[in-house]
Amino acid sequence: MDQSIRDHWVGFDLGGTKMLAEVFDSDFTQLSRKRRRTKGHEGVDAGVNRIIQTLHKALEQAEITPERLGGIGFGCPGPLDLDRGIVIEAPNLGWNQVPIKETLEQEFGCPVVIANDVDAGVYGEYCFGSAQNARCVLGVFPGTGIGGGCVYDGKILRGEKSSCMEIGHIQIMPDGPLCGCGLRGCVEALASRLAISAAAAQAAFRGQAPKLLEVAGTDLSNIRSGALAQAIEGGDAVVGQIVREAAEHIGTAVATVIHLLSPEVVVLGGGLVEAMPELFVETVANSARKHVLTSYEKSFKVVEAKLGDDAAVIGAAAWARRLIESQ
């Protein structure tokens, strides 16, 4: 095999609780997949070493040497300096000013492109999932927070140095609840899984959600997406109402972006959507149409993401290939 041919690509997704690496051939057929849990505030050196080990194990599993790599796409949450490849801050990991691009390029001897993890996920859905061939794609991923991303004319929409599309911090209720960002009434403060779980926990405590109380109690750490879905299926009408109201708030924020960018596809992903796809897709779509100008009502569709956890990984790899090969 000619080791001078760099025709393989790696995608990496660094989430708050897990890291996932995948190796692809030139047709983006997956050759290996290596997943590990992160360890929270284990320190920068230990965290970066775990990333490097995970990447090496993924390459070994694919029987590919670093010399065959065209590049690595690295998806990560938090504020990023995209051009210099620096993770400015990753609170869940305790990282500040980490030069991950430089570190990985020295280790693997190939170009590295970093991207916001939600941007990478939306790009993955654009290239390989539920938004293929769209001119403009908006992605919304409700979870602990609410992440957003946009692909426009085949490119990830971004700022001069950093990512953008912070849809979770669109203010839809000026005097609403306090958001973790310090503002009031952000859609994230009203419609994230944390906000939904808090309201559902109160309902369970008051005796209005007996099924939720049975399966998860009132501890927020136990009221996750699957428990909420179980409660709704088990007849807890108030939990269904709480989730639908949250989805309506997301639809209101989506309508704002539709007025600005007119995406023809809105992709919903993340654990909440995976657990309750019909409820979220239908409610967000109806709410968005209710809040847009009449001329936009039929201009878009709302769909569920298809790729799950793989979206950000394959999207990061594909975005890296696009940028590296265009240089």
Distance CA 4, CA 197 (A): 52
pLDDT in tens, the chain (327 residues): 444 689 999 999 997 678 999 999 999 999 999 999 877 667 788 889 999 999 999 999 999 999 999 999 999 988 899 999 999 987 777 788 999 999 999 999 999 999 999 999 999 999 999 999 999 999 999 988 899 999 999 999 999 988 999 999 999 998 999 998 899 999 999 999 999 999 999 999 999 999 999 999 999 999 999 999 999 999 999 999 999 999 999 999 999 999 999 999 999 999 999 999 999 999 999 999 999 999 999 999 999 999 998 999 999 999 999 999 998
Check residue 11 and give left, alpha or beta (phi > 0: left; psi -120 to 50: alpha). beta
- Contact residues for 259 (Cβ-Cβ < 8 A; gap 6+): 292, 293, 296
pLDDT of residue 41: 65
* Beta-bridge partners for 140: 148, 268
pLDDT, residue 56, reads 97
Among 174, 169, 179, residue whose Cα is nearest residue 148 = 169
Domains of the chain: 8-124+310-325 (3.30.420.40), 132-304 (3.30.420.40)
Residue 95, pLDDT score = 84
Separation between Cα atoms, residue 90 and residue 192, nearest integer Å: 19
**Full-model pTM:** 0.94
Residue 63, both tokens: 């029987």
